[in-house]
Structure 1
Amino acid sequence: MGEARDDPAGAGLVGFGGAAVVPLDELPRTASPAACFFGVDSDISRRFGENSDGAATFVRHWSARMQPWTRRHRPRATDVGVLSGAAGDLVRSVSEVASTVFAAGYVPVVVGGDHTVSYPVAVTAAKRHEDLTYVYLDAHLDLGFHLDDSDDVHNGNFVAALVRSGAFREIVNVGARAWTTHDDVYGDDGPVTLVRDVDPAALSALRGRKVHVSLDVDVFDPVYVPNTGSREPFGASPEQVRHVMSWIADHCTVVSADVSEVLPDPAHRATAEIAMRCVHELVKERQKQ
């Protein structure tokens, strides 16, 4: 796995959101959960949106300046590198890295390209944690009901594959607003619980649950995050998403997470820090109960 080259303070390598970089095979065990980031630099299975190869390295590079904040507020956050390669190999590699991170006592957080990257880490989490709820902030439902039937799992239908797995207590979308969510096939009796408002007040049913949280950055309004592959108008502000993440951290047990659908574009490098600040709110450190 690669290493970050960012070093704004001259104090060593800097990882995602300013986290310390540690080789995976040297990751120390921890008794109280902390975030362990790793990246995926190749799209796994994209059907919709623009190619986002290199997204993990982009986010890593442009969020490095968070290091002073991270050192103070998330001192045990760790980064174990960036994966790249063939799509089939990446699915297996993501699962293996997540398993290693889980075994060491950390909360794995994968930063990837297309949203399919969420699938292997969420499935791995569900194998380790019974009664897990999958929560995804996303402008789209990613169920693929409006598409032609296909056995291939991709970024437009992978949530349907999670539903079919039967591994989750509930699958909850926060912030869906794309035209596909208003198709007749996406009714109120569908397999996903819809929370239209990106607002902690709408999440009370999640209180006390174990959750995997997935952040597709197209949940943000394009005014704030234009560099994502499937932009939708009338989205959330960074502050709204940050409040939701903070509420989940305070009222749920976050066992794993992911970030996806960032297009590498130096003209809009603030996206990297917006995404990582929101995720760092989600992975607040606390003593193990």
Structure 2
Amino acid sequence: MGGRNFAGFPHIERLSDFMASSDDYAGARAVLWGIGQDFTTSYRPGTRFGPGRIREASYGIEEFSYHSRKSLTEKNFFDLGDVAVVFGDVQESLNRAEQVARRLFADGKLSLMMGGEHLVTLPVVKAAYEKYGDDLVLLQFDAHADLREEYLGNPLSHAAVMRRCLDFLPARNLYQFGIRSGTQEEYEFGMSRCHLFPHEVLEPLRRVIPTLGDRPVYVTIDIDVMDPAFAPGTGTPEPGGITSKEMIDALLAMEGLNVVGLDVVEVAPGLDHTDRTPVLAAKLLREAILAFG
């Protein structure tokens, strides 16, 4: 597919949009965009189709939220489209994503990214760190710690994405919620150097929030933080997760934070014939727009 160059954004293609998005990039507070990459998926592939299907699913939910009692009609947000990834070239695809993220942060936008495998979080967090430095806080909601130094000899793997973020971000700035899978080494690293909260989400999150003040916060949500009963369409499902309602409540709890970026990743729509996973992802993004946009 051919890409387009929009307002200084190279390597972007736009095939559809999220419901209620505007055509006003300059006036938009939040910008939605996708990185459909799944080159390092370690089990079941298909997350490259996540951004497109999430957009389609957004038209199956309401603009008004019963959770926040707000409507997307009150918000001005822009759907940029997706990064035109280079299939088979992980580094070039990440470079392209980083260019987009860097521009969004330079323009003062709230970055709302849809994956793609979890590795696509790396270039966005890197761009955020370039702007905010050691003040940046990373909140991870995930079934997996993603703290491996490498996976099958590859340091650029979705199973190592948080460890790669810690190549530049201080480990104490990483808060991990809902984690219930990983190696012993990952567990010991997370418990000793990061803020790792196995299994739990809401209770530890509510304790952490008052300590963050107005520091810039990046939120990454791997859809597998939810139990597979609520989100079966993901490459590495892990039983024993939270409910979709708890994740929505977590977003509502974070409303007062200085969130500068958020992503929802690892949605593999082809693995869920019921569509509940992309619908859930669309709903989480709606709540994120209403809370932070």
8 Å CA contact 1:111–1:259 kept in 2: the answer is yes
Name the counterpart of 1:42: 37
> 2:47 is paired with a residue of what secondary structure?
coil
Name the counterpart of 2:105: 102
State whether structure 2 residue 140 is matched by structure 1 residue 136.
yes
Provide the rounded CA distance (Å) in 2 between the counterparts of 1:171 and 1:108: 19
Instruction: Find the partner of 1:210 among 216, 238, 257.
Output: 216
TM-score normalised to structure 2 length: 0.81
> 2:138 is paired with a residue of what secondary structure?
strand
Instruction: Find the partner of 2:166 among 159, 163, 168.
Output: 163
State whether structure 2 residue 274 is matched by structure 1 residue 273.
no
Could you list the per-position Cα deviations for residues 207-255 of structure 1 after superposition, in whole angstroms to 9, with x for gaps in the alignment?
32321000100001111111100001111111000111111122x1101
Query: Please, which runs of 5 or more residues in structure 1 have no aligned partner?
Result: 6-14
Change (3 A) 1:44 1:203: farther
Identify which range, 86-95 or 276-285, moves more after superposition.
276-285
Name the counterpart of 1:27: 25
Provide the rounded CA distance (Å) in 1 between the counterparts of 2:273 and 2:25: 34
Q: Runs of 4+ in structure 1 displaced over 6 angstroms?
A: none
Provide the rounded CA distance (Å) in 1 between the counterparts of 2:204 and 2:286: 21
Name the counterpart of 2:6: none
Instruction: State the Cα distance separating 1:90 from its structure 2 match.
Output: 2.0
Name the counterpart of 1:260: 265
Provide the rounded CA distance (Å) in 2 between the counterparts of 1:257 and 1:153: 21
Provide the rounded CA distance (Å) in 1 between the counterparts of 2:268 and 2:116: 8
Name the counterpart of 1:235: 241
1:58-137 matched pairs, under 5 angstroms: 58-66=53-61, 68-69=63-64, 72-73=71-72, 74-86=74-86, 87-130=90-133, 131-137=135-141
Provide the rounded CA distance (Å) in 1 between the counterparts of 2:101 and 2:150: 32
Provide the rounded CA distance (Å) in 1 between the counterparts of 2:185 and 2:170: 26
Instruction: State the Cα distance separating 1:282 from its structure 2 match.
Output: 3.1
Name the counterpart of 2:194: 192
Identify which range, 138-147 or 254-263, moves more after superposition.
138-147
Change (3 A) 1:46 1:286: closer
Instruction: State the Cα distance separating 1:64 from its structure 2 match.
Output: 2.7
Matched-pair identity in %: 22
> 2:219 is paired with a residue of what secondary structure?
strand
Could you list the per-position Cα deviations for residues 38-91 of structure 1 after superposition, in whole angstroms to 9, with x for gaps in the alignment?
011232533344332222111111113346338933521211111232133321
TM-score normalised to structure 1 length: 0.82
> 1:54 is paired with a residue of what secondary structure?
helix
> 2:234 is paired with a residue of what secondary structure?
coil
Could you list the per-position Cα deviations for residues 181-230 of structure 1 after superposition, in whole angstroms to 9, with x for gaps in the alignment?
5x255226433211231215543223323210001000011111111000
Change (3 A) 1:204 1:28: same
Provide the rounded CA distance (Å) in 2 between the counterparts of 1:108 and 1:202: 22
8 Å CA contact 2:43–2:236 kept in 1: the answer is yes
Identify which range, 216-225 or 64-73, moves more after superposition.
64-73
Name the counterpart of 1:57: 52
